[in-house]
Structure 1
Amino acid sequence: MKGTKRTTRWAAAALAAALTVSMAGCTGGGTSSSKGSTAASKDASSAQSTAAAAKEGKTLNIWCWNDEFQGQFNKFYPNVKEVAKDKSTTTLKDGTVVKWTINPNDNNNYQNKLDQALLSQNSAAPDDKIDMFLVEADYALKYVDSDYTLDVKKDVGLTDNDLSNQYQYTKDIVTTKDGVQKGTSWQATPGLYAYRRSIAKSVLGTDDPDKVQEQLSDWDKFNSVAAKAHDKGYKMLSGYDDSYRVFSNNVAAPWVSGTTVTVDSNLMNWVKQTKDYTDKGYNNKTSLWDDKWQADQGPSGKVFGFFYSTWGINFTLVGNSLKTPTKEGGKEEVGNGIYGDYAVCKGPQNYYWGGTWMCAAKGSDNLGTTKDIMQSLTCNKDVMKTITEKSQDYTNNKAAMEEIANSDFKSKFLGGQNHIKLFSEVAPKIDMSKAGSYDQGMNEGLQTAFKDYFTGNATIDKAKENFKKIVTEKYPELTEIKWPS
């Protein structure tokens, strides 16, 4: 979920083409071509399922791009027995060994290696076959629309009742046009605006989340506060990309229709705001994930706040806030850096950012274990409530989150605030109807193309030309780009 990278078109095309050929005639996720009666077909299918269960493999291969899910799995999956010292494997209570393959996603490394492994899935030895792999929202459809992901209901065995408490958008992201759900997540990732309490007091005279929200509830008010912050010696945002997700999640239509790319007017609102903030000194001219951006979130930072979704707060912002990192013996506690100086409010618009989905791989010989993992970590209310209480991650179970939202739950990092309550108000409003398979490439392409414009090294027309070049090279099947008037 952290720092999604580019999807390479050749890999996606190769995967899709190969899958079309290699999966033709396969059983399991597809329809049967048996000539027998319906009853006979069902009996045969049942017999195959029984046989498959009897041959359940003892090595479960899970692929991911970092150790975040691995850590959650080892802490919260009830059937974990022991974890290897080097964390490369996890042994379950029934003797199954979970083998972790972690390929960082820099330069699309994770997807490239995953694609190659999936293309070799049929010929791989049983203990080497991928059983489960993780995907992010921006490129989920690449795998959801392929035959190498299984139906979590028909093939894996989850029921509508199992999935009933999950937020609808988390299901929509991994559902095909034909209504087949091909993944499931333990997370929901609504976004908020995380601000420094001390800076809010200096600029606005209060750090109270409700009162701060009143002054940040739309973009005009947000921009007004940016000017006030500047006058006090602070930056409203760190860099060029910080507000992008808020704008891109509130567009009127998908990026592509037929062979035409339409740049939504709200994305140009982001361009206008970012150019304005850069010219006026309202941001610190950083880019997401770079060292300066992360330093802006720490003790020496002078930035009012950051747009972050659920995972960003507990997995990224907390660590960046510390003067002495935990790896150097520091503790996550008030007194270490600016731990406790942050709070959250909704900000000018609802949005979401990121998230991680589990997909079951076609050819897996561990569907029984995969089903149990998915049920436990994405459907079990008690387990998911525990995850939130222990890690402060926002989990994908409405009933569990509502219980915590209405409790006396408090985050020490956020100065005693119950941020789950705010997240629970935003999550049901997330709309995925504008999402499409081109999202990652287009979003990253637009941000890349306009960076020179923000820094004054290109005109806006040149930035548009650069975006067109990126689109043409990445997606030659797209023939036209329309810009808002």
Structure 2
Amino acid sequence: MKKMKKALAMLMVLTMVCAMFAACGKNDQKANKDQTNKENTKDNSTDGKSGDNKEKTTAGSTGGKTLRIYCWNTEFQDRFNEYYASKIPSGVTVDWVINPNEDNVYQTKLDEALQKQASASPEDRIDLFLIEADYALKYVGTDYTLDVVKDIGLTEDDLSQQYQYTKDVVTVDGSLKGVSWQSCPMGFLYRRSMAKAVLGTDDPDQVQEMISDWTKFDAVAAKMKDAGNFMLSGYDDDYRVFANNKKLPWIDDNNKIVVDDEIKQWVSQTKTYTDKGYNNKASLWSAESTAQMAKDGKVFGYFGPAWFMDFCFMDYTLDDPNQPKEIGNGGYGDWAMCKGPQGSYWGGTWICGAAGTDNIDIVKDIMLTMTCNKDTLVKITNKFGDFTNNVAAMTELANSDFGYPFLGGQNHIKVLLESAQDIHISAASPFDQTMTEKLQLAMKDYFEGVVTEQQAWDNFYTEVLGKHPELSK
């Protein structure tokens, strides 16, 4: 793993130097909540300035008058505005540069800006930028990111309650290069009314018992089909459950591509589900998938972490997203969560301090407040439903009377806690994003009967090797 991280760090430097001449690979698709509807004159970016609050407490001394934050949607911005904006020192303006994930726009814009960081004017200089798990190593293995402890000044005690895997994802050669306010264990979101009608109960503990392994999951899928429903929306819905339980990284020490048995099981199961009509033959994030989240949808459940539920899923369950999120608005309250056949996680967002920032004290205080402060993290969970990155906070809420209205008052933190404690990244590699995208694309043709399984694998290898010729089959 260390060998691959170092190699990727060198690759990143070369990529950044050549950013003007070569496009990066397509980014992992993640729903963006119409953040590009409001456009700034710079970089087609959303302008969400947060520096004009009437009451402020100083976060620390600051050299710059503009705090510039690069991200791809409003998820972090919403939380920042709620729990930090009032601490921005007087005279400092927060400039949000928001570019969408789709078609790699975000990474391309970020790469171009980081390349110019040393010569940028103070107002154009990046102070903070956000990254996702699938491409984290692209950035944390370079000098464009500051060491959270050595350069920014957080202590081991400050970071002691964060889930270890959230630190491992952004650590290279002992250097921690980012922090996150969230941990992202996944659960199985299911429709209560459908569970009652088909399974006789909507109780999360009883439903969990019925789908606690893949054999049981298959049996429930057959029942759902007999009742005129779909167990899953489509091809990719449970991919990460299998992928997160891999024992082997995608690439071995000889740069050879390795296909773990969990990946083979996903291919086999998905083909079976497609042929038997257990899924709705939809792709992740497609209109066909999101349409089935509505109150009258026929899909029983979706795998996802807390951020998926709050930021990508909930609005599609409502009759009117512009009306209050409450019982009576579409399917609000008609959902529950259980662990599912295997513990797993999906994604996450990390905050990185950009080398060259002239607001190091504010950067430090943002990291402390938004990712280390237990009280703040409890508030984020209460308002947004996030499973936040603090062991003490999540353990406390899991054992409390906390209930999330969207889930009919269920305490989903208790459901997710077990998975969070089991998350590891021992099988992670710098090529995970490429492998995921190319595999899902190649196998879709197989699932739909366009090509044979062997042809699909051949197409997968061709695409991967075309992007990474340094690898081999």
The TM tier, using the shorter chain, reads 0.7 to 0.9
CA distance in 1, matches of 2:258, 2:467: 16
Partner of 2:149: 153
Partner of 1:187: 182
Consecutive unaligned residues of structure 1, counting only runs of 5 or more, are 1-7, 20-52, 82-91
State yes or no: 1:243 paired with 2:249: no
Partner of 1:66: 73
CA distance in 2, matches of 1:259, 1:169: 24
Partner of 1:200: 195
Counterpart code for 1:76: Y
CA RMSD of aligned residues (A): 1.8
Relative to structure 1, the CA distance from residue 166 to residue 338 in structure 2 (aligned partners, 3 Å threshold; closer, same or farther) is: same
Deviation at 1:94, TM superposition (A): 3.2
Partner of 2:424: 431
Q: Give the SS at the match of 1:256.
A: coil
Partner of 1:389: 382
Q: TM-score, normalised by structure 2?
A: 0.87
Question: Does the 8 Å contact 2:179/2:367 carry over to 1?
Answer: yes
CA distance in 2, matches of 1:72, 1:208: 31
Question: Does the 8 Å contact 1:237/1:284 carry over to 2?
Answer: yes
Question: Does the 8 Å contact 1:9/1:475 carry over to 2?
Answer: no
Partner of 2:394: 401
Partner of 1:223: 218
Partner of 2:83: 76
Counterpart code for 2:112: Q
Consecutive unaligned residues of structure 2, counting only runs of 5 or more, are 1-7, 20-59
Q: Give the SS at the match of 1:162.
A: coil
Partner of 1:309: 305
Deviation at 1:93, TM superposition (A): 3.7
Q: Give the SS at the match of 1:194.
A: strand
CA distance in 1, matches of 2:394, 2:9: 38
Q: TM-score, normalised by structure 1?
A: 0.85
Partner of 1:28: none
Deviation at 1:15, TM superposition (A): 3.3
CA distance in 2, matches of 1:55, 1:423: 39
CA distance in 1, matches of 2:61, 2:217: 60
How many residues are aligned here? Answer: 425
Which of 362, 368, 391 is the equivalent residue of 1:369? Answer: 362
Which of 194, 208, 233 is the equivalent residue of 1:213? Answer: 208
Deviation at 1:17, TM superposition (A): 5.7
CA distance in 1, matches of 2:107, 2:458: 28
Deviation at 1:332, TM superposition (A): 0.6
Question: Does the 8 Å contact 2:72/2:100 carry over to 1?
Answer: yes
Deviation >2 Å, runs of 4+: 8-19, 92-95
Question: Does the 8 Å contact 2:249/2:428 carry over to 1?
Answer: yes
Q: Give the SS at the match of 1:461.
A: helix
CA distance in 2, matches of 1:54, 1:420: 37
Q: Any residues of structure 2 matched to 1:48-197 within 5 Å, and which? A: 56-77=63-84, 79-80=85-86, 92-176=88-172, 178-197=173-192
- Summarize deviations over 1:368-406 as a string: whole Å, max 9, x none: 100000000000011111111111111101111111111
Q: Give the SS at the match of 1:364.
A: coil
Which of 228, 232, 250 is the equivalent residue of 1:233? Answer: 228
Question: Does the 8 Å contact 2:9/2:142 carry over to 1?
Answer: no
State yes or no: 1:420 paired with 2:413: yes
Question: Does the 8 Å contact 2:336/2:410 carry over to 1?
Answer: yes
CA distance in 1, matches of 2:15, 2:92: 30
Deviation at 1:275, TM superposition (A): 0.4
Counterpart code for 1:299: K
Partner of 1:253: 248
Partner of 2:316: 320
Which of 418, 443, 448 is the equivalent residue of 2:436? Answer: 443
Question: Does the 8 Å contact 1:239/1:288 carry over to 2?
Answer: yes
CA distance in 2, matches of 1:165, 1:71: 23
Question: Does the 8 Å contact 1:186/1:395 carry over to 2?
Answer: yes
Range with greater deviation from structure 2 (153-162 or 422-431): 422-431
Partner of 2:32: none
Deviation at 1:14, TM superposition (A): 3.2
Which entry has the higher C-alpha Rg, 1 or 2?
Answer: 1
Q: Give the SS at the match of 1:339.
A: coil
